[in-house]
Every structure is written in structure tokens, then in C-alpha cells.
Chains A and B, each alone.
Chain A
């Protein structure tokens, strides 16, 4: 499988703060990667380094292009949506479309229009008169109508209501993604993206703590819900975490046999947020 992004021993410091700490990562094509970490963990810095917006030490190659030195070339094949509205507020919707069409030769105006027809956005409106959700819809329409190979979403649902959130990710999945393209989504709201992710990267204090495919993660971690009388049996198996839930005890298990666990209680797949809390919190 072709590698879309290769990050090798990348470091970035802001004064005394280390934003990226010897990061190495390889992202193949045809994947949807969730970059998950608490606030200040270095998610945005990583995405900005990959977009060529900031300088860094080490090597990054995105589609064989070094972002730091060749950002314009990279942006011809890359779409980026930030956690804040970035479309010029004084522009009309029509102008944003004309501007993007002029900038990106692969832009498909009809596709963009079809997307916007499903929304309440009017072509003569100004961007500043749109709600935050509408601004994101517009930006998404502009990005999805461009045949880019990499889509970078930096907390794209920040400040949006649940309807917009669901809609955004379903558009990404249905209108953009295929086996030749990759999507990198940065978020700290794990639960809203886990159903679409193919891989997950956990980041803490600028370091990659975990990088696994969702399949590997689901076969590695199990959640077993047991009654109090059987809890000690599970405790002997060294669970990763333990919590009380409606009179029962929920254990998170790592690298255990599923059939063996099912003797003591109901075995389910844990949510990414459960695994995230355990790994990032260092709980046992």
C-alpha cells in the first residue's frame, strides 16, 4: 500500500514548550486516521507542520512533497479545514467559489453547487452573515468539490451542533473518501469519529502514545461486564482498568482471550474513548 504521509523524527518547540517530541509516523493511502489527544497535546501543531504552515526539525513527506519548502505544490492536492471559520468574511459565497475555482484546477463547480443546493446557503450572501455551521458547510463544499488526495480536518466540528457534526462526517465518508484518498481528523471528541476511523493515533505531550488500526485495537482490547461475585476472577487477570456501572463492574482487558472472558460476563468492544481515557490517563 502506498504511503501518503511519512513523518520521521520531527521536533517542534515553542520557546520552552515542546509541541512535537521526536514524532515518527507513516500514514498509508486509503485510510481515515483519527488524531486524538487532549488540548495542548500537539495535534494542531502536527497538522500545521504537515500542511507546511510552520517550520520544524526532522523530515516530513506528504505525497513525496516536503511541506516546509513546497507548500504551494502540496496544497494543489490537499484540502484543509480548520477548527475556526477561515473563509474571508467579506466575500460572497459566489466569490469564494470563483476564488477556489481559480486557485485549484481540479475544482468541480457543479459538484460544489450540488452540495450547497442541499443547504440554506444563498450564493449572494456574504460569508460573515452565515452561521458557524453554514460556514463549515461552505468550506466543506469547497474542499470536497476539489479532487484532492489528502483531506486534513483540524477539529472541524468545534462549536457545531450535533446535526452539523453528523452531517459533516457523513459527507466526508460518502462524498469524498475512496481507496486512493486519505483523511486525517484531529479531535479530542473521540466518540463522534470512531465509527468512521480506520486508524487511530493517540498523542500526549507531543509524543505518539499509540498508533493502531481500528481492527487491531478491537482485537486487542475487550470490555467485560461482570457481577461483583466474579470480579475477583477478572482482577487476577490484570485488567487495564476497572469501573463501577449500575451495580456491576466493567473491566477493560488487553490481549486476553475473548472466549475465556465470556465465562465471567458479557464481553463487548470498548469505545475508543474508554481506551483513550485508560491509555492517556495511565489508569490501571
Chain B
């Protein structure tokens, strides 16, 4: 275990600069966005924000319900509804930007993880240490997963602080109804959910992660391009040669499902207007986890792990 932790520390040393840069740039972009938000807020006329929402409370503030149950019932011409929709759109865009950045880091990390070691010959240094090949590869996977989740959590925190900053700026302008809705979305309470869903996302993406590591351990140049290009080429070839769209659909399905899940993390999906009082974390978690897809992902990932291990052992650099 000690050796594994030393290898993890090694991953941190190697990638910490990248992580700091990405987190810094993301924070900087968000902070810069606060400037136009603040300036735009002066142009919102509070008198134009009509509060026409029927406040049919059924109890105290903790038991509030809203008159409308679904998104379709809402009048999007209402300025207050517009404010909420802009807010929801902002949250969704922010999450997607965050996930895009994480995906970007993840792709680079896993595609380079074993490739870089071979190219700079440092794999020979690692292999002269008393650690097994399994430990080395698992430390790379763990380093990537922990790194992505760690960055995700830190950047999410930054994003949530940003969101609350925007709300604070706009609070006097956007009307009571909008504020009620916004207040109902307990962003910080849902923070734990995000960790869980990140974990499921990574399980579902594990075949692709291990595929990239296999490529990383095998090719002589451009592992990322080959790692991304090979599945795309295979899907395209299947379509052109046999008219088979299964693989193309599978690629889009993966992306779409993960996007939906990401959006659901902060309850800004199309169902968000119902605003449940309590987030059923584990119901939702098991609903995603206990699926054939998880099983298939683990089996496929195991296969790619074996290939990555074989390639790692076989491809020893020669001076």
C-alpha cells in the first residue's frame, strides 16, 4: 500500500501544474463573467418583473409547493420565468463547460499515462523499483480518477460560489417568484450527489479509459489521436461498408446519457420545476449503478485492462 501511495504521489507531482492551470483558468473565466453580469443587472427594470405566481402555500416554508407541476405549464413570456430559465441555462452551461474541461484533462491524462513513460524512458526507472506492473497501472488509473474527481469537486465549488455570486447580484432585480425557485435549488446540498454521479460516470467510461491506456501502452506516436480516431473510424467504416449504425449510435448514446446524468446532478433537467423537497440520493444512485450497462462496462474495462497490461509488459523501450 505504501508503494501504491508513493506512485500516486508521483502522479500528483507530474500533473499538479496542469490541474492548477485548468482550475485557475476556469476560475478566471467565471470571475470575468461576473463583470458583465454585474453591469447587466443595472439594466433590469424591477418594475417590469411582475409577480403573478399564485402563492398557494400549503404550509410553512419547508413544505411549499408550486402551482405548476411541469415546465410546459409555465408562461415563458413572464420576466420572472425568463429569469429562472436563464438561471437554469446558466447552471447547465456551467456544468457542461466544467465537464468538457474534465473530459479534456481526462483524455490527455489517460492517453499519455503510459505513453510518456515509454517516450522519456522513465518506465525503465519505474521498473527498477520493487513494484509490480499491476500496481503501476492501477496507480495511473487511480491517479486519473482521483485527479478528475478532485478537480471536478474544486471547480464545482468555484462554480457554485460563482452562481451564488450571480444570484446575490441579481437578487434585487429578478422578482420574488424567481428567487423562490432559485432558493429551492439547494446547490450545496447536492454537492455529494455530484461525487456519486462522477463515480458512476467513470464506471461507464471505464472501457474507454482503459482502451486509451491500452493505446497509450502500445503506439509509437500520437496516442490521443489514435485513441479517439480508431473508434470513430471503426464506427464510420461499419456504417459505410455494412450500413450498420450501432456503433455510431452507441457513441452518441454514451455522450447523451452522461450529459443527461450530469444535468440531473444539479436537478436542472426538464423535470426540475417539480423541485422535490428531498433528494433521493441512493435511489437514484442505485438506479444508475444496478444496470446491465454497468456490468458490461466493467467486463469491457477488464478486457482492455488485460490488453493494457500485456502491452505495458511487452513494449519496453530500446535505446
Interface residues, chain A, with chain B CB atoms under 8 Å away: 48, 51, 53-54, 71-76, 78-80, 82-91, 95, 98-100, 102-104, 139
The answer, yes or no, to whether B9 is at the interface (CB within 8 Å) is: yes
How long is the Cα–Cα vector from A48 to B3 in the complex, in angstroms?
Answer: 23
- List 13 other contacts, CB 8 Å, given A53-B316, A102-B6, A103-B130: A48-B316, A53-B124, A72-B129, A72-B130, A72-B135, A76-B130, A84-B124, A84-B319, A86-B121, A90-B14, A91-B14, A99-B9, A102-B5
How long is the Cα–Cα vector from A99 to B7 in the complex, in angstroms?
Answer: 8
Minimum-distance CB pairs A-B, first 8? A102-B6, A88-B122, A76-B130, A86-B124, A84-B319, A80-B128, A86-B125, A103-B129
Task: Tell me the interface secondary structure of chain B in the complex.
Answer: helix
The answer, yes or no, to whether B42 is at the interface (CB within 8 Å) is: no
The answer, yes or no, to whether B104 is at the interface (CB within 8 Å) is: no
Contacts of A98 in B (CB 8 A): 9
Contacts of A75 in B (CB 8 A): 127-131
How long is the Cα–Cα vector from A103 to B124 in the complex, in angstroms?
Answer: 14
Contacts of B14 in A (CB 8 A): 88, 90-91
The answer, yes or no, to whether B28 is at the interface (CB within 8 Å) is: no
The answer, yes or no, to whether B252 is at the interface (CB within 8 Å) is: no
- Pick from B121, B125, B130: contact of A104, CB under 8 Å: B130
CB pair B128–A102 under 8 Å, yes or no, is no
B119 CB to closest chain A CB, in angstroms?
10
A157 CB to closest chain B CB, in angstroms?
14
The answer, yes or no, to whether B10 is at the interface (CB within 8 Å) is: yes
Q: In the complex, which range does the number of interface residues on chain B fall in?
A: 20 to 34
Nearest A-chain residue to B313, judged by Cβ: A55
18 contacts between A and B (CB under 8 A): A71-B132, A72-B130, A75-B130, A78-B128, A80-B128, A84-B121, A84-B124, A85-B121, A86-B122, A86-B123, A86-B124, A88-B122, A98-B9, A99-B6, A99-B10, A102-B2, A102-B5, A102-B9
CB pair A82–B319 under 8 Å, yes or no, is yes
How long is the Cα–Cα vector from A80 to B124 in the complex, in angstroms?
Answer: 9
The answer, yes or no, to whether B120 is at the interface (CB within 8 Å) is: yes
Nearest A-chain residue to B316, judged by Cβ: A53
Contacts of B21 in A (CB 8 A): none
Given A53-B127, A102-B3, CB of A83 within 8 Å of CB of B9? no
- Pick from A54, A79, A89, A95: contact of B128, CB under 8 Å: A79
- Pick from B13, B124, B131: contact of A95, CB under 8 Å: B13
CB pair B121–A82 under 8 Å, yes or no, is yes
Nearest B-chain residue to A53, judged by Cβ: B316
How long is the Cα–Cα vector from A82 to B319 in the complex, in angstroms?
Answer: 9
Contacts of B9 in A (CB 8 A): 98-99, 102
Contacts of A91 in B (CB 8 A): 13-14
Nearest A-chain residue to B134, judged by Cβ: A72
Contacts of B121 in A (CB 8 A): 82, 84-86
Nearest A-chain residue to B17, judged by Cβ: A90
A99 CB to closest chain B CB, in angstroms?
6
B129 CB to closest chain A CB, in angstroms?
4
B12 CB to closest chain A CB, in angstroms?
10
- For window 89-140 of chain B, which residues contact chain A by CB distance below 8 Å? 117, 120-125, 127-132, 135
B143 CB to closest chain A CB, in angstroms?
14
Contacts of B122 in A (CB 8 A): 86-89
Contacts of B131 in A (CB 8 A): 72, 75, 103
How long is the Cα–Cα vector from A74 to B5 in the complex, in angstroms?
Answer: 20
B27 CB to closest chain A CB, in angstroms?
24
Contacts of A95 in B (CB 8 A): 10, 13
How long is the Cα–Cα vector from A84 to B10 in the complex, in angstroms?
Answer: 21
Of A51, A79, A88, A98, chain B has the most CB atoms within 10 Å of the CB of: A88
A135 CB to closest chain B CB, in angstroms?
11
How long is the Cα–Cα vector from A90 to B10 in the complex, in angstroms?
Answer: 11
Contacts of A87 in B (CB 8 A): 122, 125
CB pair A83–B128 under 8 Å, yes or no, is no
How long is the Cα–Cα vector from A233 to B6 in the complex, in angstroms?
Answer: 69
How long is the Cα–Cα vector from A78 to B319 in the complex, in angstroms?
Answer: 21
Given A51-B128, A103-B129, CB of A89 within 8 Å of CB of B120? yes
How long is the Cα–Cα vector from A84 to B6 in the complex, in angstroms?
Answer: 24
How long is the Cα–Cα vector from A48 to B318 in the complex, in angstroms?
Answer: 11
Given A102-B2, A103-B6, CB of A73 within 8 Å of CB of B125? no
A97 CB to closest chain B CB, in angstroms?
12
How long is the Cα–Cα vector from A41 to B61 in the complex, in angstroms?
Answer: 84
A65 CB to closest chain B CB, in angstroms?
11
How long is the Cα–Cα vector from A248 to B87 in the complex, in angstroms?
Answer: 98
CB pair B10–A73 under 8 Å, yes or no, is no
Contacts of A99 in B (CB 8 A): 6, 9-10
Nearest B-chain residue to A70, judged by Cβ: B132
Nearest A-chain residue to B123, judged by Cβ: A86
How long is the Cα–Cα vector from A86 to B318 in the complex, in angstroms?
Answer: 11
How long is the Cα–Cα vector from A75 to B133 in the complex, in angstroms?
Answer: 13
How long is the Cα–Cα vector from A260 to B130 in the complex, in angstroms?
Answer: 55
Nearest B-chain residue to A76, judged by Cβ: B130
- For window 10-25 of chain B, which residues contact chain A by CB distance below 8 Å? 10, 13-14
Contacts of B135 in A (CB 8 A): 72
Nearest B-chain residue to A81, judged by Cβ: B128
B28 CB to closest chain A CB, in angstroms?
25
A264 CB to closest chain B CB, in angstroms?
47
How long is the Cα–Cα vector from A232 to B128 in the complex, in angstroms?
Answer: 55
Contacts of B124 in A (CB 8 A): 53, 80, 82, 84, 86
- Pick from A48, A83, A104: contact of B129, CB under 8 Å: A104
B296 CB to closest chain A CB, in angstroms?
32
